[in-house]
């Protein structure tokens, strides 16, 4: 019996290979296993290799594994591209129809040809070859067939009992074939039993969307883009039940500007995009900053620059999110590391936007936004709604007709009371031009300075409740790892291996990116012999932030990756080991 397994299914894009992966994972999730998935796909509809790698474990997992136990192949290309990833003794399950073969040089891997297509044909439709493939895995892993009944019913129940029955037969036949082929169960593919607890199984984008609804967002304006579209798609599905709506706009400029308009109107509204969309939004982000209009913007990072690698993992928008837009505005950038944090941080983003009346950017990356994983229960009690100096629910005191409301009143904390259009005695003006306390254009030098200071004062001393995720068992570690977004799990696994070799390693994950939580980070940097910043970009953006705000340049090192693929534990482990050897720490 094993505690964990890594499974991959691959084929041509557009041929429905998502189905078997999803079905397999959902059934295992319901058995109580923990899963972590990553989809490799291309920016095209039909054709091109795609695969879905899923790690299954009896314990929580938040990273891909280095190698692979089982590869399910729907074409020879899948074998050619992925067979080398299999561990010794790993298994390829492929459709006998096209005479699969192992590429040269791949040793100690077992190929099991299963008649996916002919079994499916016998059952009435070649479409069911996917289910035969799932069944083959079930046979190999010696899993019971019953847990799949529920998922299959959910998937095809609408099409009638016969369809469900046929698909279940396909699974059973696939399993039976492999069981016969093997002669008896192989212990190295049999998972130890899980706890049977039902947990959520979702992608980061879905958690972001749920967080937005929980926070009271009832309007989203967005333009489709990978890897952000699932947020709008989910909300298009569910917002109507709560009286809300999504507008698919003509571009990202309209998307963010509509969200700003709706926030000005008093609603909680947001947009979500990826790098190219965020580039278009920079003008409006400046407007939100200048007019002190709350707005929440999600940036799901993908490979840049320009169109870059639209379907690949990267973390290269950090600088752009902190600095983009001309002039100087207060802005908050937060970066959840897990799907759970996507939910909580998104909900919190709406509070921050209203409390500080600033644009708030929620930064994720492709692996976090699209990687489907087991998620601990989301605690609705942790979702607060705080609106700061919002006055939309208040009756305002009477004032003279032309005595405008001081929407930009100079206050000690820089945040001014905020009535909304429609309110009696709240009339004021809003403009992206420098303005006075009632919002009228004003170019005077004294006013300008006061207003700049007022806006920037709002975030002085700003601190999230949890600005960094800390895993720091050592008082004086050899090394401190620093990461951002989806890398938390993979860094932790690399650390486990380093610890096994005697390295004392601490780890912090930056959740509050801007303003940078220097006071929170500094003690961990100070106490560490060396610091390794792990990030997925070519210019070490996070490391530079660290140097800028905390210092200690001499002990800060980088592990960078920008080939479009997420880190594997081995890569961090080996590179870190190399770095530490140079420093004679090991």
Partner 1 sequence: MTELKVTFKEFRNDVAPNWCPGCGDFAVLAAMQRAFANLGLTPEQVAVVSGIGCSGRISGYIHTYGFHGTHGRALALAQGLKIANRDLVVVASGGDGDGYAIGMNHTIHAIRRNIDLTYIVMDNQIYGLTKGQTSPRSQMGFQTKSTPKGSIESPLAPLQMALAAGATFVAQGFSSDVNQLVAIIEAGIRHPGFAMINVFSPCVTFNKINTYDWFREHVVPVETIEGYDPHDRNKAMQALMETDGMLTGIIYQDPDSVSYEDRIPGFQKTPLVKQPLKLERAEFEALVAEFM
Q: How far is the CB of 499 from partner 1 (least distance, A)?
A: 34
Considering only residues 199 through 218, tell me which ones interact with partner 1, judged by CB under 8 A.
Answer: 199-202, 206, 210, 213-216, 218
Which run of H or of E encompasses 453? helix 445-457
Instruction: Give the separation between CA 242 and CA 215, rounded to whole angstroms.
Output: 13
Residue 155 touches partner 1, criterion: CB under 8 A: no
Instruction: Give the separation between CA 285 and CA 271, rounded to whole angstroms.
Output: 12
DSSP string, 255-270: HHHHHHHHHHTT--EE
Instruction: Give the separation between CA 551 and CA 375, rounded to whole angstroms.
Output: 36
- Residue 93 tokens read as 């399950």
Q: How far is the CB of 211 from partner 1 (least distance, A)?
A: 11
Task: Please name the residues in contact with 500: beta carbons below 8 A apart, sequence gap of 6 or more.
Answer: none
Pick the closer one to partner 1 by CB: 424 or 581.
424
Q: How far is the CB of 22 from partner 1 (least distance, A)?
A: 12
Q: How far is the CB of 432 from partner 1 (least distance, A)?
A: 6
Residue 224 touches partner 1, criterion: CB under 8 A: no
C-alpha Rg value of the chain to the nearest Å: 26
Instruction: Give the separation between CA 206 and CA 212, rounded to whole angstroms.
Output: 10
Considering only residues 19 through 38, tell me which ones interact with partner 1, judged by CB under 8 A.
Answer: 30
Considering only residues 382 through 401, tell me which ones interact with partner 1, judged by CB under 8 A.
Answer: 385, 392, 401
Considering only residues 251 through 310, tell me which ones interact with partner 1, judged by CB under 8 A.
Answer: 251, 253-254, 257-269, 283-284, 287, 291
Single out the residue of 390, 535, 469 nearest to residue 544, CA to CA: 535
- A 10 A CB-CB count for 563 gives 11
Pick the closer one to partner 1 by CB: 147 or 432.
432
Pick the closer one to partner 1 by CB: 429 or 522.
429
Pick the closer one to partner 1 by CB: 242 or 323.
242
Considering only residues 182 through 201, tell me which ones interact with partner 1, judged by CB under 8 A.
Answer: 198-201
Q: How far is the CB of 393 from partner 1 (least distance, A)?
A: 9
What are the backbone dihedrals phi and psi of residue 502, each rounded to the nearest 5 degrees, phi first? 95, 5
Pick the closer one to partner 1 by CB: 182 or 430.
430
**Which of these ranges, 122-130, 174-182, 237-245, 452-460, lies near partner 1 under the rule CB under 8 A?**
237-245
Q: Which of 241, 306, 398, 465 binds partner 1 (CB under 8 A)?
A: 241
Instruction: Give the separation between CA 399 and CA 479, rounded to whole angstroms.
Output: 62
Considering only residues 347 through 376, tell me which ones interact with partner 1, judged by CB under 8 A.
Answer: 375
Q: How far is the CB of 313 from partner 1 (least distance, A)?
A: 23
Pick the closer one to partner 1 by CB: 432 or 551.
432
Q: Which of 14, 159, 242, 453 binds partner 1 (CB under 8 A)?
A: 242
Residue with tokens 């800390």: 470
Pick the closer one to partner 1 by CB: 104 or 393.
393
Residue 221 touches partner 1, criterion: CB under 8 A: yes
Cα dihedral: 524, 525, 528, 534 (round 10): 100
Q: How far is the CB of 21 from partner 1 (least distance, A)?
A: 16
Q: How far is the CB of 262 from partner 1 (least distance, A)?
A: 4
- A 10 A CB-CB count for 469 gives 16
Instruction: Give the separation between CA 462 and CA 34, rounded to whole angstroms.
Output: 36
Single out the residue of 53, 44, 176 nearest to residue 115, CA to CA: 176
Considering only residues 541 through 570, tell me which ones interact with partner 1, judged by CB under 8 A.
Answer: none
Pick the closer one to partner 1 by CB: 48 or 392.
392
Instruction: Give the separation between CA 73 and CA 249, rounded to whole angstroms.
Output: 39
Answer yes or no: are the C-beta atoms of 482 and 532 closer than 8 Å.
yes
Pick the closer one to partner 1 by CB: 319 or 423.
423
Q: How far is the CB of 283 from partner 1 (least distance, A)?
A: 6
Pick the closer one to partner 1 by CB: 127 or 420.
420
Instruction: Give the separation between CA 155 and CA 503, rounded to whole angstroms.
Output: 48
Which run of H or of E encompasses 73? strand 68-73
| Total residues binding partner 1 (CB under 8 A) | 71
Pick the closer one to partner 1 by CB: 266 or 517.
266
Q: How far is the CB of 191 from partner 1 (least distance, A)?
A: 20
Q: How far is the CB of 360 from partner 1 (least distance, A)?
A: 16
Q: How far is the CB of 275 from partner 1 (least distance, A)?
A: 20
Pick the closer one to partner 1 by CB: 38 or 219.
219
Considering only residues 431 through 460, tell me which ones interact with partner 1, judged by CB under 8 A.
Answer: 431-433, 439-441
Pick the closer one to partner 1 by CB: 249 or 506.
249
C-alpha to C-alpha distances, 487 to 31, 119, 368, 499, 568, nearest whole angstrom:
26, 41, 9, 18, 9
Q: How far is the CB of 378 from partner 1 (least distance, A)?
A: 6
Answer yes or no: are the C-beta atoms of 255 and 203 closer than 8 Å.
no
Task: Please name the residues in contact with 98: beta carbons below 8 A apart, sequence gap of 6 or more.
Answer: 75, 76
Pick the closer one to partner 1 by CB: 221 or 568.
221
C-alpha to C-alpha distances, 5 to 54, 63, 167, nearest whole angstrom:
8, 13, 25
Considering only residues 484 through 513, tell me which ones interact with partner 1, judged by CB under 8 A.
Answer: none
Burial of 303 per CB tally in 10 Å (0-12, 13-18, 19+): buried
Answer yes or no: are the C-beta atoms of 504 and 477 closer than 8 Å.
yes
Considering only residues 399 through 428, tell me which ones interact with partner 1, judged by CB under 8 A.
Answer: 401-402, 420-428
Instruction: Give the separation between CA 373 and CA 338, rounded to whole angstroms.
Output: 9
Q: How far is the CB of 426 from partner 1 (least distance, A)?
A: 7
Strands 332-334 and 512-514, sheet pairing: antiparallel
Q: How far is the CB of 144 from partner 1 (least distance, A)?
A: 19
Answer yes or no: are the C-beta atoms of 106 and 76 closer than 8 Å.
no
Pick the closer one to partner 1 by CB: 195 or 251.
251
Q: Which of 226, 249, 300, 313 binds partner 1 (CB under 8 A)?
A: 249
Instruction: Give the separation between CA 21 and CA 195, rounded to whole angstroms.
Output: 22
């Amino acid at each position: 019996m094993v505690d964990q397994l890594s499974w991959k299914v691959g084929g041509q894009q557009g041929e429905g290979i998502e189905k078997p992966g999803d079905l397999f994972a959902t059934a295992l999730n319901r058995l109580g296993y923990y899963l972590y998935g990553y989809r490799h796909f291309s920016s095209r509809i039909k054709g091109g290799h795609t695969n879905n790698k899923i790690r299954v474990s009896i314990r929580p997992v938040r990273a891909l594994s280095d190698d692979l136990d089982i590869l399910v192949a729907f074409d020879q290309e899948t074998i050619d591209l992925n067979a080398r990833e299999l561990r010794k003794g790993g298994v390829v399950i492929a459709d006998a129809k096209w005479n699969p073969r192992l590429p040269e040089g791949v040793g100690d891997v077992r190929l099991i040809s299963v008649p996916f297509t002919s079994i499916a044909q016998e059952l009435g439709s070649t479409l069911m070859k996917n289910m035969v493939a799932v069944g083959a895995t079930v046979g190999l892993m010696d899993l019971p067939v019953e847990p799949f009944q529920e998922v299959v019913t959910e998937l095809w129940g609408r099409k009638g009992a016969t369809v469900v029955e046929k698909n279940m037969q396909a699974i059973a036949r696939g399993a039976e074939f492999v069981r016969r082929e093997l002669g008896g169960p192989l212990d190295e593919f049999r998972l130890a039993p899980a706890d049977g607890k039902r947990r959520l199984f979702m992608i980061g984008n879905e958690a972001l969307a749920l967080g937005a609804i929980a926070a009271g967002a009832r309007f989203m304006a967005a333009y489709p883009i990978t890897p952000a579209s699932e947020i709008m798609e989910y909300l298009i599905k569910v917002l109507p039940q709560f009286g809300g709506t999504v507008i698919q706009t003509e571009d990202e400029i309209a998307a963010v500007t509509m969200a700003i308009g709706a926030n000005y109107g008093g609603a909680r509204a947001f947009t979500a995009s990826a790098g190219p969309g965020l580039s278009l939004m920079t003008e409006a982000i400046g407007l939100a900053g200048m007019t002190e209009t709350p707005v929440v913007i999600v940036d799901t990072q993908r490979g840049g620059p320009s169109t870059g690698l639209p379907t690949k993992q990267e973390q290269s928008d950090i600088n752009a999110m902190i600095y983009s837009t001309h002039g100087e505005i207060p802005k908050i950038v937060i970066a959840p590391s897990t799907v759970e944090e996507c939910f909580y941080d998104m909900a919190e983003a709406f509070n921050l936007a209203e409390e500080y009346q600033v644009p708030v950017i929620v930064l994720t990356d492709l692996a976090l936004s699209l990687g489907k994983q087991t998620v601990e229960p989301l605690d609705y009690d942790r979702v607060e709604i705080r609106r700061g100096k919002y006055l939309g629910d208040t009756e305002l005191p009477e004032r003279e007709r032309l005595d405008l409301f001081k929407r930009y009143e100079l206050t000690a904390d820089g945040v001014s009371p905020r009535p909304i259009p429609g309110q009696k005695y709240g009339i004021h003006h809003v403009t992206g031009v420098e303005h006075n306390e009632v919002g009228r254009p004003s170019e005077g030098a004294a006013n300008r300075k006061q207003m700049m200071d007022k806006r920037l004062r709002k975030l002085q001393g700003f601190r999230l409740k949890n600005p960094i995720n800390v895993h720091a068992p050592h008082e004086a570690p050899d090394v401190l790892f620093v990461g951002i977004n989806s890398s938390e799990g993979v860094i932790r696994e690399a650390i486990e291996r380093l610890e096994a070799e005697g390295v004392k390693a601490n780890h912090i994950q930056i959740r509050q990116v801007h303003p940078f939580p220097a006071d929170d980070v500094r003690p961990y940097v100070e106490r560490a012999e060396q610091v390794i910043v792990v990030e997925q970009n070519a210019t070490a953006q996070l490391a530079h932030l660290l140097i800028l705000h905390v210092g200690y340049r001499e002990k800060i090192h980088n592990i960078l990756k920008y080939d479009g693929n997420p880190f594997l534990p081995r890569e961090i482990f080996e590179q870190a080991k190399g770095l530490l050897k140079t420093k004679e720490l090991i």
